[in-house]
Chains A and B, each alone.
Chain A
Amino acid sequence: MQSQPEDETVAGIDIGSRSIELVVLNPDGLLRSAKAPTTFDPLGQCQRLMEGIDGSRIIATGYGRKLFAESFRQVNVSTITEIQAYSLGARFLYPEAKMVLDIGGQDTKVISLSETGKVLKFEMNDRCAAGTGKFLEFMATALQIPLESFGEFALRSDRRIQISSMCTVFAESEATSLMARGERPENIAMGLHLAIVQRTFAMLRRVGLATPLVFAGGVAQNPCVIKLLEEQLGQPLKVPENPDMVGALGAALYGENYRTVDV
């Protein structure tokens, strides 16, 4: 505790398939947070993000954590899984949280937490695009709507239609045929959002639905998904201000706890 200031900083970095998030903490609190797209050069992107934070502890999480740990050997690096990271981050932001839902770019995670915040059970969907952010991205492109406004666009629907295809590729064909039949694109968008929420709900039920439910990850910025989930849940979700930073935050917190335990 009496060491130089650099030793007191802890960084959490969440290297995902689409974006990389960084959170740096020191005993006073949040020092820095930053985000960058992963691109084809994730390590280069990490390098850029981490400028100026040498010497501190880094905890890496996400899809690219092993790659990061192997490449940044000169720094003090450990890794934890996204499950651990998201649960720590969510619990920190919402101390009463019982469940965490993370719909990311390429996977979806559901985590149930104990009274003390420990991971009780988890389930992941990382083999199929349907039910992940990829599905929405794909569909937004098909309907030629920018991804960031896809949720709002869907909220302008005037009726709910059911998309029956389970598969992302076929759902796109279905959306196209609906367009050809004159269906309003807003309604098609709503149907697609409904599909992803239905899949998510099945996962939530299998793990054991519990509230308060923290909704994190990139897709938590989609107002339509939030609305539909809250409808199904029957109560409001806990959505952090920066839902895609929760993993990096959790990783940094892990580093902090670890360091405190050491001392």
Chain B
Amino acid sequence: MSNSHDAMWEKLNLDLEAHQGLLEVLGKFYGDIYMSQQGRLRGMEYLDFVLSEVHGLRIKELQDAKAAGKKVVGTFCVFVPEEIVLAAGGIQVGLCAGAEIGTGEAEKVLPRNTCALIKSFVGFKLARLCPFIESCDLIVGETTCDGKKKAYEIFSDYSPVYVMEIPQMKNACDRELWKSEVLRFKSQVEEVTGNKITADALKDAIHLVNERRRVLQRLNRLRAAVPTPISGRDVLLINQISFYDDPVRFTSKIGELCDELQDRVKSGDGIVPDGTVRLMLSGCPMAVPNWKMPFIIESSGAVVVGEESCIGTRNTRDLVDEDSMSLDGMIDAIVDRYMRIDCACFTPNTERLDNIVKMALDLGVKGVIHYGLSFCQPYLMEAYKVEKALAGAGIPMLAIETDYSMEDVEQLKTRVEAFVEMTR
């Protein structure tokens, strides 16, 4: 990445030297994991470019937008309704982080036994390595898991955090609670942006985000074709970038990529040899640049053809109903759609089990790998039930518990290979 962005990064109070180091390491990883692939779609060049400029040109775009009066809202969870932010003329970016960065800093304020994702975003902030965090006008947290909930209290010593209460259950009273929180969020966003949300603006925003979901749904349908036309790694990257990139441009570019993919499917071109075991990933999300698990899986004789987590179908499966014309009706539609998210923070969350089994059967996968971040209690505890549910449908599951470090790569490879052998 060019150093022409140094001035911008300096203004954002980044630790320039450490940041340069980070970019170099990122570049190398990307080369090893992504560029080494054979037969990639031409459309992936866009993603390569976005990733290479994720701290560069994209940040510049955000800074230019801010100079023109737009506000940037940073979030850590797919629960935060992007439609509200867009309708108020804002830009929403995901701040979840996927690298072991600033761990030393983070561990001064957080216990070591905290999930890697949380330590990562706190670490990025404290080590001054994330231009996205520094570009935010509003940072939104939520009461999802214990770790995040309390981490926001610590984080707010450094940057104020607006916390949304996410319901823990899905009864009627919980829906009402969620609706009141969505409305409270709406007021907060209107205050920060200085724009009142109109019915027209919200309608457009809903449509925009739905279109992005639709293109990712299309991608999911195409990638499931046999022979597999695109690697799990590439689809993961696309999903990860959907949290950072401009929604209009992203949707358009991925649409083009899907067209290319469609041709490939038609001509029966696969990117893996025949007989490669098709697997599905389930569980905790993988934030950029966490590519460890799909890389291990795809180096062990298998290919990932679906993800159930927040960087997969949990995020893209459901659309917001576009029928209503009134502001209140649209808010209701948003409330309803977001209540369908089946995160393990919810209890009893039985719909997640059904969703996973259905997805695995639809994809016709040979097995499911459940990915749990160490210390993530909700997902680790649900893994037991997910395994039973899949066993009931005759689908084997491998439960992996890991973090962002590279220490256990060999052990994970052995397990994944053994699982692949098992499923053949």
* Chain A interface (Cβ < 8 Å from any Cβ of B): 80-84, 118-122, 124, 126-127
The interface centre, meaning the residue of B396, B414, B418, B421 with most chain A CB atoms within 10 A of its CB, is B418
B414 touches A84 (CB 8 A): no
Q: Does B171 contact A (CB under 8 A)?
A: no
A83 touches B418 (CB 8 A): yes
Q: Does B38 contact A (CB under 8 A)?
A: no
B411 touches A81 (CB 8 A): no
21 contacts between A and B (CB under 8 A): A80-B421, A81-B414, A81-B418, A81-B421, A82-B414, A82-B418, A83-B418, A83-B422, A84-B418, A84-B421, A84-B422, A118-B422, A119-B421, A119-B422, A120-B396, A122-B415, A122-B418, A122-B422, A124-B411, A124-B414, A127-B408
* Binary interface encoding of chain B residues 401-417 relative to chain A, with 1 for a CB under 8 A from any of its CBs, else 0: 00000001001001101
A124 touches B422 (CB 8 A): no
Q: How far is the CA of A81 from the CA of B417 in the complex (A)?
A: 7
The interface centre, meaning the residue of A81, A120, A124 with most chain B CB atoms within 10 A of its CB, is A81
Which secondary structure dominates chain B's binding surface? Answer: helix
Could you list 16 further interchain pairs (A-B, Cβ under 8 angstroms) beyond the known A81-B417, A121-B396, A124-B411? A81-B418, A83-B414, A83-B422, A84-B418, A84-B421, A84-B422, A118-B422, A119-B422, A120-B422, A122-B415, A122-B418, A124-B415, A126-B411, A126-B414, A127-B408, A127-B411
Distance between A202 CB and nearest chain B CB, rounded to angstroms = 15
Taking CB atoms, residues of chain A closer than 8 Å to B415 are 122, 124
Size range of the chain B interface in the assembly: under 10
Q: How far is the CA of A77 from the CA of B417 in the complex (A)?
A: 17
Ranked 6 nearest A-B pairs via Cβ: A83-B418, A81-B418, A119-B422, A84-B421, A81-B417, A126-B411
Distance between B73 CB and nearest chain A CB, rounded to angstroms = 40
Q: How far is the CA of A120 from the CA of B415 in the complex (A)?
A: 13
* Binary interface encoding of chain B residues 222-262 relative to chain A, with 1 for a CB under 8 A from any of its CBs, else 0: 00000000000000000000000000000000000000000
Distance between A243 CB and nearest chain B CB, rounded to angstroms = 20
Taking CB atoms, residues of chain A closer than 8 Å to B417 are 81
Q: How far is the CA of A189 from the CA of B415 in the complex (A)?
A: 32
Taking CB atoms, residues of chain A closer than 8 Å to B421 are 80-81, 83-84, 119
Taking CB atoms, residues of chain A closer than 8 Å to B411 are 124, 126-127
Taking CB atoms, residues of chain A closer than 8 Å to B414 are 81-83, 124, 126
Distance between B161 CB and nearest chain A CB, rounded to angstroms = 35
B418 touches A119 (CB 8 A): yes
Distance between B325 CB and nearest chain A CB, rounded to angstroms = 53
Q: How far is the CA of A122 from the CA of B418 in the complex (A)?
A: 9
Taking CB atoms, residues of chain B closer than 8 Å to A127 are 408, 411
* Binary interface encoding of chain B residues 311-325 relative to chain A, with 1 for a CB under 8 A from any of its CBs, else 0: 000000000000000
Q: How far is the CA of A92 from the CA of B225 in the complex (A)?
A: 38
Distance between B370 CB and nearest chain A CB, rounded to angstroms = 13
Distance between A130 CB and nearest chain B CB, rounded to angstroms = 16
Q: How far is the CA of A121 from the CA of B414 in the complex (A)?
A: 14
Taking CB atoms, residues of chain B closer than 8 Å to A119 are 418, 421-422
Q: How far is the CA of A119 from the CA of B396 in the complex (A)?
A: 10
The interface centre, meaning the residue of A82, A120, A121, A124 with most chain B CB atoms within 10 A of its CB, is A121
Q: How far is the CA of A80 from the CA of B422 in the complex (A)?
A: 11
- Interface residues in B73-110 by Cβ distance below 8 A to A read none
Q: How far is the CA of A74 from the CA of B414 in the complex (A)?
A: 25
Distance between B90 CB and nearest chain A CB, rounded to angstroms = 44
Q: How far is the CA of A84 from the CA of B417 in the complex (A)?
A: 10
Distance between A203 CB and nearest chain B CB, rounded to angstroms = 14
Q: How far is the CA of A80 from the CA of B417 in the complex (A)?
A: 8
Distance between B265 CB and nearest chain A CB, rounded to angstroms = 31
Taking CB atoms, residues of chain B closer than 8 Å to A82 are 414, 418
Taking CB atoms, residues of chain A closer than 8 Å to B422 are 83-84, 118-120, 122
Distance between A61 CB and nearest chain B CB, rounded to angstroms = 10
Taking CB atoms, residues of chain B closer than 8 Å to A121 are 396
Smallest Cβ-Cβ distance to B417: which chain A residue: A81
- Interface residues in B27-55 by Cβ distance below 8 A to A read none
Distance between B387 CB and nearest chain A CB, rounded to angstroms = 9
Q: How far is the CA of A81 from the CA of B410 in the complex (A)?
A: 12
Distance between B417 CB and nearest chain A CB, rounded to angstroms = 5
Taking CB atoms, residues of chain B closer than 8 Å to A124 are 411, 414-415
